[in-house]
């Protein structure tokens, strides 16, 4: 009985945190996909912000006017965008650990 209480005391905040992260993922997930699509449309010219604006306009028009494919378009952008976030985190993690490993071997 005490083990169940400990699990629930630890599990409740973890579940709340995962729920918040899940909702944030739905909100911020498509951002890399929208920015990548916006950068692709003008042929790679312009800034990252301009690419995001172009992508956001196309995204909004696609969701609003193509209602029969809006769900699929959102899921596609969500999966692609979450993959972009995960790849960025993984690359940042790998770069951080490789630079810290190089600095410790250089100082030794």
Write down the mean pLDDT value for the chain: 77
- Confidence (pTM): 0.58
| Per-residue pLDDT tens digits for 46-66 | 777 888 888 888 888 888 887
20, 64 contact by CB (below 8 A) = no
Q: What is the mean pLDDT, run by run of 10 residues, along the chain of 108 residues?
A: 55 77 84 82 74 85 81 85 84 75 56
Rounded alpha-carbon distances, angstroms, from residue 26 to 23, 56, 68, 69: 5, 16, 20, 18
């Amino acid at each position: 009985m005490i083990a169940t209480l400990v699990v629930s005391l630890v599990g409740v905040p973890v579940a709340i945190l995962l729920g918040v992260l899940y909702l944030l993922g739905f909100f911020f997930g498509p951002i890399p996909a929208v920015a990548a699509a916006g950068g692709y449309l003008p042929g790679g010219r312009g800034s990252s912000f301009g690419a995001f604006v172009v992508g956001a306009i196309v995204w909004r028009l696609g969701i609003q006017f193509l209602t029969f494919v809006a769900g699929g378009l959102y899921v596609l952008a969500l999966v692609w965008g979450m993959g972009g976030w995960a790849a960025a985190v993984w690359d940042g993690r790998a770069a951080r650990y490789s630079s810290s490993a190089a600095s410790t071997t250089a100082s030794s």
